[in-house]
Amino acid sequence: MRLATICAAGLVVFATCVPTFASIATVDFESAVPGAKVSGDELATVGSLVAKVGSQTGSIVAGGGPAGAGDQYLYSDDGGADPQDRAVEIVFNKPISSILSLDALFQDSGGTDFTIRIPGPGPNIVVFSSNAGGLNPAWFTDVIGGPLVLPFYTTKLIFTDNDTNPVGIDNLKVEYVPEAGSLIAWSVLAGGFFGFVRLRRNARV
């Protein structure tokens, strides 16, 4: 009974440390098939993280990414008549807690040149914006300039400009929350370990 109580306590304490066990993945779109992408099309699988196109679609461009001619990237223009082709959404199978780095392609849009948004309880929430665009589209390496901790976990990221020009993204490095099952397993193991240590210590008294 005492061991069960101690294990339960360990589970609670350990579960509060979820961010410590966050995983990191870089989505670079190199494995995606070039061309227009419709909602639900897979963009990349990195470990247990799967990235797909959301309701605002785009395309995979084969070449011209930040690394040069052979580097693929995600472009917001899907080549169709979609009036929302200035934005592209990525949806994930696991909650994203932070964006660690990102390369972005954009130009001067007569306002905010590039934004990252996440769904909110009302309108989408802008978590990052840049006005660094010039007259011609250009790649900006690590445009966010360091880790961007999101205000809350999200499974959707929206990339857009000022509804004027398409944008491109590549090398999206994110921190995400691993599977709940693995956290519970680690919690039980930790609780059991600390419980065993405590029982051994009490037995020596």
Give the largest Cα separation in the chain, rounded.
77
Residue 5 has pLDDT above 80, yes or no: no
- The whole-number pLDDT of residue 49 equals 96
**pLDDT tens digits for range 61-110:** 999 999 988 999 999 998 876 655 689 999 999 999 999 999 999 999 88
pLDDT tens digits, one per residue of 152-197: 999 999 999 987 899 999 999 999 998 654 444 434 444 444 444 4
- pTM for the structure as a whole: 0.78
Q: Please provide residue 53's backbone torsions phi and psi, each rounded to the nearest 5 degrees.
A: -75, 140
Give strand ranges (E) for 28-86: 35-37, 42-46, 49-53, 58-61, 73-75
Return the ∠ at Cα 95 (arms to 94 and 100), rounded to 5°: 110
Residue 114: strand, helix, or coil: strand
Q: What domains does the chain contain, in order, with CATH numbers?
A: 1-19+179-205 (no CATH), 23-177 (2.60.120)
